[in-house]
Amino acid sequence: MSFLKKGIAKKTAPNMPTQRQLRVGEDLRHLIADVFTQGDFYHPQLEGISITVTCVTVGPDLRNAMVFVLPLGVHEADKVKDIIASLNELGSHIRHAIAPKITFKYVPQFKFQEDTSFSYGSKIEALLNKNSSEN
């Protein structure tokens, strides 16, 4: 007798991405990074700024993607917000640039967001170093 027939199916965490979502996100990360390095688009606010794509999370329907980016060498919060706003304006251009390179049925809509995990990690490391030096 199968567990599925009894209604005792294996439960997964509701917010855990599937293997397919992870694979599509990683493929999109590489493609978006290639678009940034090749300079397939122009925006005066982004001129001379190096942007790193750290992670792409894709929704369950694969039609929406959150792109986490890190503008290198930019430390002012207002400047970072302007860069993210510019990237969100260029989302359709970036979508158009990667459309011929993908094999998915749909090209997802992109929403860009600043990746704060590196600054958060630095703060935690500084706290740990401070506590270890006090002992």
Domains of the chain: 17-128 (3.30.300.20)
Alpha carbons 36 and 39: distance in angstroms, whole number: 5
Confidence (pLDDT) at 6: 53
Spatial neighbors of 20 by CB under 8 A, at least 6 apart, are 62
Confidence (pLDDT) at 60: 92
Low-confidence ranges of the chain (pLDDT < 50): 1-2
Confidence (pLDDT) at 12: 58
Spacing of C-alpha 103 from chain mean position: 19
Distance spanning both ends of the chain, measured CA to CA: 59
Q: Note the residue count of the chain.
A: 135
Confidence (pLDDT) at 11: 53
